[in-house]
Structure 1
Amino acid sequence: MTYPSAHAAMFPDKPAVVVAESGETLTYRELDDGSMRLAQLLHAAGLRPGDHLAVLVGNHLRFLEVYWAAMRSGLYFTPVNTYLTGSEARYVVENCQASALVVESRLDDVAAELADLPLSVRLSLDGAIPGFDDYTTAVAGYPAEPLADEPLGAHLLYSSGSTGRPKAITRELTGKHVSEGNEALRIWINQAYEVEPGTVCLSPAPLYHAAPLSFCAAISSIGGTIVLMERFDAAGALDAISRYRPSHALLVPTMFIRLLRLDDATKAAADTSSLRYVVHGASPCPASVKRGMIEWWGPVIHEYYAGSEDNGSTLIDSREWLERPGSVGTASPGCTVHVCDALGREQPAGTDGVIYFETDGAERAFEYRDEPAKTAATRHPDHPTWTTLGDVGHLDADGYLYLTDRTDYMIISGGVNISPQEIEDVLIEHPVVLDVAVFGIPDDEFGEQVKAVVQLTDPAGDPTAVAAELREFARGRLARHKVPRTVDVIEEMPRSPAGKLYKRRLRDTYLSPRSPARGTRA
């Protein structure tokens, strides 16, 4: 069983996708029929294997229907972040050279800036909008029959763009039939998380991000049920767990923080006993937060470290993490982790360096489209099949990986390397802090100084008093040179719905004289 047609034949009325808030359901028969109709429409419009389909769609009931239409047509599938501005979204759609675009009608303001693009197909879910035909009406005119040939498509994802224009992460099409699918991913997700046809997975994070998309696509290829949340709400997530009884959930650390900050009565009343695997990644998880989740939900918390480039990963379960707090685990099957210095020399256990993945199979090879210099920068100087995401960390004697920070954000103050993550992990423990970012800003004497920016649990808190309190809190837990020189309070931290912190954008507000940082300092 490898894709919706197989499951539609075996259990046609089984829910493939459920929207948690409304209860709307898409069965496997409906998913299969809808994806075949759209595939027929795209083929009739002239799209052929290797062409591109872009989507500007949130966690919509029919997101995976559109996805599988691309996969069974040999197309590249590019999801566009729905929080982008019109000009940002236009850059992605133009850069990926999309021939077809599907949008949500609620995003008509952004879609309006894309309506004049030279596209063969423009469709709008939930009703027509200017420049886009109604999706339901358009696909209804095509048969629910497979194309004569169904080559397997592929993802063409974009990096978050936190360090400039987003980069297109590309791979060659495999030449497989869609029924063969991504066998390596199915094997991996079954071995790591016991995903099977009976799996029910809660996915609050947006499907336009790499991890939720890959995870949910793999589950639907195996025949499980996906429960989507249109947007994350901590109390709503607990309600969805109680109502839909998921065995799996895919969350990010910021969601953990918001769950833990719920009142004691709400947490005590929650029934999370159905959960067997709660998988998280996307950003570092503070040790106190992870320990709190394990104490509350039990040893069901599983962490992965990977990137949108899908060039390798590490895995760790609750038991292992409690024995090695702060670790992101050991290399997943078929993968080896190397830690190297700036010259590419492997480092001994306990010594920080750049993290490289070495993986089996040509399917893991990636490039940044039209960015040869950036692609080259991901390759090891002596081993071109070893690739890096730009993160820094070290291995212990047993092969467990510990992340220090990204090379981009390491603070060098007075010649000393300072990890922002270490400071962030301390500050997030203070009950007034809902979210935090730490980075370096220029300093005439030391080169860089440590800056902390926080979002408060209670927006009405006194920023000046809080800032002073947090510096004092840090002094009792960090070496003197790691204590933030200043602490600013802002209304909301710039994060994507998937929990990705746009730290570069935040830091840039402190570097541009024309864009003075807002907040209160102490």
Structure 2
Amino acid sequence: MDVAVTPPAIRCAGVEHTYPTFQERSARIAAGLRALGVEPGERIAIVMRNEPAHLEIAAGAARLGASAVPVNWHFRHDELRHVLGDSDSKVVFAHTDLVPGVAAALPERARLIEVPVPDGTAAACGFPPPPVTGDHPLLDSWLYGHPPLAEEAARRPSTVIYSSGTTGRPKGVLRDPVGAEQLADAVAKFHEFFAVEPGGRTLIPAPLYHASPSQHAVLALAGGLDITLMPRFDAEEFLRLVEHHRIQQAQVVPTMFVRLLRLPKDVRERYDLSSLTSVVHAAAPCPPHIKHAMIDWLGPILREYYGGSETGAVTWCDSQEWLAHPGTVGRAEGTCSVVVLGPDGVALPTGRTGEVYIKPSDTWPQFTYLGDPAKRAAMEADRLPGYVTIGDIGHLDTDGYLYLSDRRNDLVISGGVNIYPAEIEGCLLALDGLRDAAVFGIPDEEFGEALAAHVEPEPGAALTTEDVRAHVADRLASYKVPRTVVFEERLPRDESGKLFKRRLREPYWAGRDRTI
């Protein structure tokens, strides 16, 4: 089959739906939700891995004027109960193997729709397809019991993404619905900044419960792109899909770069990646040596942006800009703007490090947090209306390019000196035999905080604590050398590469006053 002339479709692990099929199914889902009493402005939840049905359910909710809440399917017990209850989800869709946990956390009067796990999705995730429970309506029989909903909401609600909860329970980001003109503007910017033509072929390897892949999927659908989803990221499978489907554009996170680069050279060279014209990354700092290596491999097709679930992308840079400004996350585009403020709320001069405040595009929808307007207000700059912070520390150069040092909550203050763990983590990732690293502050009686590094070695690597400390000491100032080094079999990351540093840090601070 010639992929180049095949009509665009949405596929994942052996399941493929054409756009007409996708639209019919989402319209039936919209009708089914209305029959269950879901009203415009309300919410439904999706506790599922990546697959076409995930996107169809979200599109069906939007057609009705309701918001979908993609839930991290790793959540258990209280985590699920919090998100489902806090979002006041009226209907919850869950993969079969996740149904028991979801049913136990289901809010009163909420309805549960069971979604069988496709064979390919189960295989990719490493388990046999589970038999359906038979306790709840099954997605296909339920949706085909309703005629497609002909009408569509005039304003499209956004998905409600729950923050990762690094400083407490996660909060849902609720953005204003957008009209047709706003959506068209967003799609045009998507085509421009992601360097993909209408009808082009894109690959989404990260979980749809994260903001970036979720928004990517929404805009790709609105732009009529051919969409390939991965149930979970696997480095060689990523290369195989690029070759097989002649993928032109993909959005990834830096951890995926690390895993791709660690494939043996002969494996990387086995696949034809010449169709790729744009690889976009965001969501976490990318160590400069990793980005250099990716550009050397794929060519100058890497593009990067910075922003948040709340603000959308605010800064952008392509490979040429990054090579001219190594380490940058880009420069504000269009009507977006960036300023770096000191503790007194006054803008800092070029090169000075402080808290980063960003102003979203004039066409980006306003946002708040479900049930917590005070948190939204606390993000705003007192003297700069329209500017908010998402908790990052950084500086601007003379050309207006932004450089991030770390997250505000990850900043370590040791003996009055500010230390940014991201710099040390990037240094450690260049150590042969080290697969992953997490650096953070732990209690210290003399200095207030000291540095700890939890590291994940490559299988078979004979690294020692002194190897780790010496590697940092040879490259960074002495006060940046971790005092404590702990070897872990595996650091706590999800499929998108998100590191749950809080899980590592909490035991050190139990019973103490630091905000985790």
Deviation at 1:69?
Answer: 0.4
SS at 1:155's partner residue? coil
Q: 1:319 deviation in Å?
A: 1.0
> CA offset at residue 212 of structure 1?
0.3
Moved more, 117-126 or 211-220: 117-126
Equivalent in the alignment of 1:7: none
| Counterpart residue number, 2:192 | 191
The 5 Å alignment of 1:91-240 reads 91-115=82-106, 117-120=108-111, 122-126=113-117, 128-129=132-133, 131-147=135-151, 151-174=155-178, 176=179, 182-240=183-241
Q: Deviations over 1:379-400 (max 9, x none)?
A: 0011231101010100000000
Q: Is the 8 A contact 1:13 1:27 kept in 2?
A: no
Q: Say whether residues 1:27 and 2:18 are aligned partners.
A: yes
In the aligned structure 1, how far is the partner of 2:107 from the partner of 2:213? 30
The size of the alignment, in residue pairs, is: 495
Q: Percent identity, aligned pairs only? A: 38
Seen in structure 2, the aligned counterparts of structure 1 residues 445 and 71 have a Cα distance that, compared at 3 Å, is same
Name whichever of 370-379 and 92-101 sits farther off. 370-379
| 1:162 Cα deviation from its structure 2 partner | 2.2
How far is 1:200 from its partner?
0.7
CA distance in 2, matches of 1:17, 1:362: 28
Q: Does 1:69 align with 2:60?
A: yes
Q: Is the 8 A contact 1:196 1:219 kept in 2?
A: no
Alignment check: 8 A CA contact 2:88 2:107 kept: no
In structure 2, the residue matched to 1:242 is: 243
2:121 aligned residue = none
Aligned to 1:492: 490
Alignment of 1:499-514 (within 5 A): 499-512=497-510
Work out the CA distance in 2 between the residues paired with 1:403 and 1:30. Answer: 43
Q: Determine if the alignment matches structure 1 residue 79 to structure 2 residue 70.
A: yes
**Which amino acid is 2:423 matched to?**
E
Partner of 1:18: 11
> For residue 11 of structure 2, what is the amino acid of its counterpart?
V
Aligned equivalent of 2:127: none
- 2-structure distance, mates of 1:401, 1:502: 25
The alpha-carbon deviation at position 29 of structure 1 amounts to: 0.8
* 2:29 paired with 1:38: yes
Contact 1:247 1:277 in 2 (8 A): yes
Deviation for aligned residue 1:163: 2.1
User: Structure 1 residues 102, 165: closer, same or farther in 2, change over 3 A?
Assistant: same
Per-residue displacement from partner, 1:218-264 (whole Å, max 9, x unpaired)?
Answer: 01101001111111111111111111110001111111111111111
How far has the Cα of 1:194 moved from its partner?
2.9
Counterpart CA distance in 2 for 1:431 and 1:148 is 55
Please name the residue that 2:352 is paired with. 351
Paired with 1:156 and 1:505, the residues of 2 have a C-alpha distance of: 24
- Matched with 2:461 is 461
Instruction: Output one character per residue of 1:66-117: Cα deviation in whole Å (capped at 9) or x when no partner.
Output: 1110111110111000111132112111110111111111323322323563
Match of residue 40, structure 2, among 29, 49, 61: 49
Match of 1:385, as an amino acid? G
Give me the whole-angstrom Cα distance separating, in 2, the residues matched to 1:149 and 1:478.
Answer: 55
SS of structure 1 residue aligned to 2:133: coil
Offset, 1:131: 4.4
In angstroms, what is the RMSD of aligned CA positions?
2.0
Which amino acid in the other structure matches residue 135 of structure 1?
L
Deviation, 1:312, is 4.8
Q: Is the 8 A contact 1:350 1:394 kept in 2?
A: yes
User: What amino acid sits opposite 2:510 in the alignment?
Assistant: S
Instruction: Identify which of 478, 481, 487 aligns with 2:479.
Output: 481
Letter in 2 for 1:59: N
TM-score by length of 2: 0.92
* Residue type of the alignment partner of 2:110: L
Distance 1:149 1:475, change over 3 A: closer
Q: 1:384 to 1:249 in 2, by over 3 A?
A: same
2:389 partner SS: strand
Aligned pair in 2 of structure 1 residues 312, 233: CA closer, same or farther (>3 Å)?
closer
Equivalent AA in structure 1 for residue 461 of structure 2: G
Distance 2:324 2:349 in 1: 21
Supply the distance in 2 between the matched residues of 1:69 and 1:13 (Cα, whole angstroms). Answer: 25
Judged with a 3 Å threshold, the aligned counterparts in structure 2 of structure 1 residues 13 and 236 are, in CA distance, closer, same or farther, namely closer
Deviation at 1:362, TM superposition (A): 6.8
Other structure's SS at 2:431 match: coil
Stretch moving more, 376-385 or 128-137:
128-137
Match of residue 519 from structure 1: none
- 3-state secondary structure, aligned to 1:133: coil
Deviation at residue 63 of structure 1 after TM alignment:
1.3
CA–CA distance in 1 between the matches of 2:467 and 2:153? 65
The 2-side partners of 1:48 and 1:144 are apart by 17
Give 1:181 deviation, angstroms. Answer: 6.2
Amino acid at match of 1:377: A
Tell me if 1:384 matches 2:385. yes
Deviations 1:329-385 (A, max 9, x none): 101222000111111101111001111112343743222222233222210011231
Q: How does 1:253-268 map to 2 (within 5 A)?
A: 253-268=254-269
Contact 1:86 1:109 in 2 (8 A): no
Q: Distance in 2 between matches of 1:35 and 1:167?
A: 27
Distance 1:288 1:109 in 2: 44
- Residues 56, 82 of structure 1: 8 Å contact kept: yes
Distance of aligned partners of 1:438 and 1:116 in 2 relative to their CA distance in 1, 3 Å threshold: closer
TM-fit CA distance, 1:313: 1.7
Report deviation, 1:196: 2.9
Counterpart in the other structure of 1:9: none
SS of 2:64 mapped into structure 1: coil
Alignment CA distance shift 1:118-1:320 (3 Å): same
Change (3 A) 1:115 1:329: closer
Distance 1:361 1:129, change over 3 A: farther
